[in-house]
Amino acid sequence: DGGITQSPKYLFRKEGQNVTLSCEQNLNHDAMYWYRQDPGQGLRLIYYSQIVNDFQKGDIAEGYSVSREKKESFPLTVTSAQKNPTAFYLCASSFGLAGVATQYFGPGTRLLVL
């Protein structure tokens, strides 16, 4: 099956702890994205990567970090500097040039703070 997988589905973080959310895709897409979703709001872009070994900050990158060592993988670390991490995190990937692109989402990871 082609698609995007995220793990875990639920994640609990203690105060001062860093946690890492996994995102893997086997769609052979070049671009990958991380979004944060809060209740009643649209998706906000955290980080994105257009190619391997390169990534850019989105609108709300503070307190988060990413890496893109492989085309298939784009893990997101929520650091202790992120003071309000409770949210639903969505990973996405896309193909195509601007103007003909399509973006697909993974099933999401819900992060809760203990």
Partner 1 sequence: GQQLNQSPQSMFIQEGEDVSMNCTSSSIFNTWLWYKQDPGEGPVLLIALYKAGELTSNGRLTAQFGITRKDSFLNISASIPSDVGIYFCAGQGRNYGQNFVFGPGTRLSVLP
Q: For residue 107, what are its two tokens?
A: 């099933």
Q: Using the rule CB under 8 A, give the single segment among 12-20, 61-69, 71-79, 99-107 that binds partner 1.
A: 99-107
Q: Does 100 bind partner 1 (CB under 8 A)?
A: yes
The CA distance from 28 to 2, in Å, is: 9
Q: Does 95 bind partner 1 (CB under 8 A)?
A: no
Instruction: Identify whether 75 is preceded by a cis peptide bond (ω within 30 of 0).
Output: no
Q: For residue 3, what are its two tokens?
A: 């698609």
Q: Name which of 16 and 42 has its Cβ closer to partner 1.
A: 42
For tokens 């070994």, name the residue: 53
State the residues that interact with partner 1 by CB under 8 A: 4, 6, 31, 33, 35, 40-45, 48, 50, 58-59, 88, 90, 94, 97-108, 110
